[in-house]
């Protein structure tokens, strides 16, 4: 059965190497003074007799945007759900910002996430939807125009959500994840369902945050090549000893 680890460690399943990876720089997780932002050890999820996440060890240092790559059913979303405290692990352990996964209230205020499809009101505008989300999340309303601008929807924010293209809906979902100005941004297959033009659009997004190196991103992708996400970092990096985590863009200062 596919697991995230098998999926990314199986060379046959890998996409051709990105040319940029030639400049890959190794990032030693331990070299980061503040420790990894995300760390799992033996993280496991079983549903009945089926093991869907199998003893996953993952370490993501601050300041990188890590891609978590594997085919459908590999357990990517389940892993993210465990990191967000939405699904209880069956075994192993994990920490986010040094806090254990069973105390999500201790770290979730610093995390923004978009898991699978965003849920928005069809009849409200993108802007109103974000305002609702900001109110529910306790975020400052001044963030709404900031994040709309950030994802390139500033001129379409007044349009009803139901009139948005798939790519615009994805962008709005990302805007929602950015509302809290998170230090860790988690996006589940942000290019999912997009046509090549949509993926090109995504490429222009400063997907993770990274105007500051204390910002970290974790994206899942079904295929390496779907990483049309050209992230805002300058250096490309590969986290060391991180099964399930592929080439990344480090955030510039």
Ligand X SMILES: Nc1ncnc2c1ncn2[C@@H]1O[C@H](COP(=O)(O)OP(=O)(O)O)[C@@H](O)[C@H]1O
- Residue 77 interacting with Mg ion (CB under 5 A): yes
- Residue 242 interacting with ligand X (CB under 6 A): no
Minimum CB separation of residue 11 from ligand X in Å reads 19
Tell me which of Mg ion, ligand X, none is bound by residue 121, counting a contact when its beta carbon lies within the kind-specific cut-off of 5 to 8 angstroms. Answer: none
Task: State CA 58 to chain mean position distance.
Answer: 14
Burial bucket for residue 101 (CB in 10 Å: 0-12, 13-18, 19+): buried
Report d(CA 15, CA 1) in Å as an integer. 20
What single DSSP character describes residue 31? G
Size of the site for Mg ion (CB under 5 A): 2
Span from 66-74, 97-105, 160-168, 176-184 in contact with ligand X (CB under 6 A): 66-74
Minimum CB separation of residue 43 from Mg ion in Å reads 16
Task: Read off the tokens for 208.
Answer: 């993770």
Minimum CB separation of residue 169 from ligand X in Å reads 19
> By rule CB under 6 A, what string of x and - marks binding of each residue 32-61 to ligand X?
---------------x----x---------
Span from 32-40, 71-79, 179-187, 204-212 in contact with ligand X (CB under 6 A): 71-79
Are 219 and 67 within 8 A, CB to CB?
A: yes
Are 172 and 161 within 8 A, CB to CB?
A: yes
Task: Read off the tokens for 209.
Answer: 């945050």
The binding site for Mg ion (CB under 5 A) comprises: 76-77
């Amino acid at each position: 059965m596919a697991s995230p680890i098998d999926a990314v460690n199986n060379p046959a399943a890998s996409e051709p190497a990105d040319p940029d990876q030639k400049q890959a720089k190794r990032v030693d997780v331990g070299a980061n003074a503040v420790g990894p932002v995300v760390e799992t050890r033996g993280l496991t999820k079983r549903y009945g007799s089926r093991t869907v996440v199998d003893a996953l060890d993952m370490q993501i240092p601050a300041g990188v945007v890590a891609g978590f790559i594997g085919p459908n059913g590999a357990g990517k979303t389940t892993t993210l759900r465990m990191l967000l405290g939405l699904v209880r692990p069956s075994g192993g352990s994990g920490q986010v910002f040094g806090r254990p996964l069973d105390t999500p209230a201790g770290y979730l205020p610093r995390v923004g996430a978009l898991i699978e499809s965003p849920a928005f009101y069809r009849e409200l505008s993108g802007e109103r939807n974000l305002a609702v989300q900001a109110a529910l999340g306790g975020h400052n309303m001044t963030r709404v125009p900031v994040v709309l601008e950030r994802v390139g929807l500033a001129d379409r924010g007044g349009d009803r959500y139901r009139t948005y293209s798939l790519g615009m809906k994805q962008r709005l979902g990302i805007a929602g994840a950015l509302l809290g100005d998170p230090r860790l941004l988690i996006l589940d297959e942000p290019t999912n369902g997009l046509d090549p033009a949509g993926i090109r659009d995504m490429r222009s997004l400063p997907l993770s945050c990274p105007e500051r190196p204390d910002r970290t991103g974790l994206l899942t992708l079904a295929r390496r090549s779907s990483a049309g996400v050209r992230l805002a970092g300058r250096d490309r990096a590969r986290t060391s000893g991180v099964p399930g985590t592929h080439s990344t863009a480090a955030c510039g200062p």
